[in-house]
Chains A and B, each alone.
Chain A
Amino acid sequence: MGKIDQQTVYIFGDSFAIDVPKSWPLYVKEAIGDRYSFNNHAHGGASNDYSEYIMRNQGLKRKDKNTIGMFFISHPRRLWLQGQTDVVIQGQDVEQLRFRAKNNHKASVEQLKNLYSQRLVDQYEGAYYLVGNDKIRWERELRKILCSINHHARLYKKFFVFFSFEDSLHLYRQLDITFNNLDVIDRFAMDSLNREDQSFFNSVNHLSRPQRRGFAKVMIDCIEKTSFDYSVLNKEWRQYDYLPKKGSL
């Protein structure tokens, strides 16, 4: 019997992809962990620019024909503050902030407090969000992030991009750009982002148990067949209207 090459799956993004007990990445690992190794760098509360930064630092450095990449795009309002000293605030704890404070960014805490007191940022469930909608900025940032992911993705056998939130998906569809190294899952978002409706933060990966199990099955297929099948999702997920709405992002 010939030796089977073990394949690797890299996962980047926000809390919809984190590796915690009973989460969908763990179900996937339990099912196909003998044939695949997993490097999960997703982080709760991670902003897109933070995940992109992690991807370039922790992801592949040279081409590997056996590796699959996945990136879960977070909400555009989620914050990696780009003020003077580049305050970095994200994550479900203050670890990131402490790291920055150690690294010559001692003004970070003070700046954040200042912005918070001026209601320029909002805090929710461990992550900071910019207040207000700036579509021009969000589009620009998303385009640059996707261009960087696309550039990085050339090193992988296949690279999937998922949208954690409906409003990010709206933005993507308005960019009207297709990427040659990416398989963008653009007919589905893990959740809506209705700030009044906090229910999506209540469970593992913010998904119900049937959703987690269903999504794990889809992802196993996705990894093994290197294609994403939308049809299985219809049973468990709300179908969103992805056409831009007046007044939405």
Chain B
Amino acid sequence: MNLYVFGDSYAEFSPNGWLDRWQRKNANSKVHCYAMGGSAIEHAENQMWKYGVRKRLKNSNDIGMFFVSSPYRMWLDCHIDTTIHGNDSKQLKERRKIQPKSQEQLDHLKRNNIVKYYDGAYYFVAWDTQRHLRDMHRTFCSIDYHAKNYSQFFVFFCFEDALRTYKRLEQTSWKNINVVDNFAFDKIAQDPKRPGNILPFFRDAPNHMNEHQNRTFAYTLDSSIKNKKFDYTLFDAFWERYDYTYNESRE
């Protein structure tokens, strides 16, 4: 079995993280992890098409996973599309080779308080519901279409605000993806009541989860793949329950 993982730091391969634990238990399976800390949704979607399965082979048992980051997290789409993400400056350096003005543009956005830097990733300061909804719809269409190449494909939400945005989409019935839409790993990346105030959601632990959470998620993933359905039952003990219903006053 091949397991393809895309998304942000919640899915990044780290020692003693959930993916490491799952890999140890499933030594015969091969993990292809393209998740990266600080990845914006668009970046993860791009990685998916770049490194994911392009053609479904007969009897293949490829499993895909996509961890949706916060809509606040940024892959800058200004002028020349400065791409800033990741926990280091590698991406920026790569982009600067192609687009020398990237750093200059980013500085301009920072000076004008349009973006903010926090713990390795850039975020938009303001929330734009219409934009986030539009982007999320397109991204899900893209994931659903790409997912036809896999035997199973799970989509998770890393942040509550992404999940609440998803719940507001008009179209949420997909052909090829199993969207885990009753659970988010963590709270929002920013506080909507105080734009620009990024909440300290990062725990200093593998995949931002404690040991119990990492263990539980690895176990749940295993049983979910076998049963072709995500099993929420073990989660209540280890994750805070969020209110996922849309509340306009919170936007």
Residues of A within 8 A of B (CB): 49, 52-53, 56, 82-86, 115, 120-121, 130-132, 134, 136-137, 140, 143-145, 147-148, 150-151, 177, 179
Contacts and interface: CB of A to CB of B under 8 A. Distances in A.
Nearest to B115: A84
A148 B114 contact: no
A86 B131 contact: yes
B205 interface: no
A147 B77 contact: no
A84 B128 contact: yes
A75 to B, nearest CB: 16
Interface string B70-103: 0000000111110100000000000000110000
Residue of B78, B114, B144 with highest tally of chain A CB at under 10 A: B78
B28 interface: no
B235 interface: no
A177 B46 CA distance: 14
26 contacts: A49-B134, A56-B137, A56-B171, A82-B77, A82-B78, A83-B78, A84-B124, A84-B125, A85-B126, A86-B130, A120-B78, A120-B79, A131-B79, A134-B80, A136-B83, A136-B98, A144-B141, A144-B142, A145-B138, A147-B141, A147-B142, A148-B138, A150-B141, A150-B145, A177-B145, A179-B145
A86 B131 CA distance: 7
Given A144-B138, A148-B141, A151-B144, A136 B128 contact: no
Given A137-B77, A148-B142, 18 more contacts: A56-B171, A83-B114, A84-B124, A84-B125, A84-B126, A86-B131, A120-B79, A134-B81, A134-B99, A136-B81, A136-B83, A140-B45, A144-B45, A144-B139, A144-B141, A147-B142, A150-B141, A150-B145
B144 A137 contact: no
A132 B126 contact: no
A221 B99 CA distance: 46
A84 to B, nearest CB: 4
Nearest to B42: A140
Interface in B19-63: 42, 45-46, 49
A132 B82 CA distance: 12
A159 B143 CA distance: 21
B39 to A, nearest CB: 14
Closest 3 CB pairs of A and B: A137-B81, A82-B77, A144-B138
Bin chain B's interface residue count: 20 to 34
Contacts of B141: 144, 147-148, 150-151
Given A84-B128, A85-B128, A115 B79 contact: yes
Given A83-B114, A120-B79, A130-B79, A147 B138 contact: yes
Contacts of A131: 79
Contacts of A53: 134
A154 to B, nearest CB: 8
B61 to A, nearest CB: 22
Residue of B49, B83, B99 with highest tally of chain A CB at under 10 A: B49
A49 B133 CA distance: 13
B173 to A, nearest CB: 10
A177 B145 CA distance: 10
A151 B171 contact: yes
A150 B139 CA distance: 13
A203 B61 CA distance: 55
A102 B83 CA distance: 31
Contact of B145 (A84, A86, A147): A147
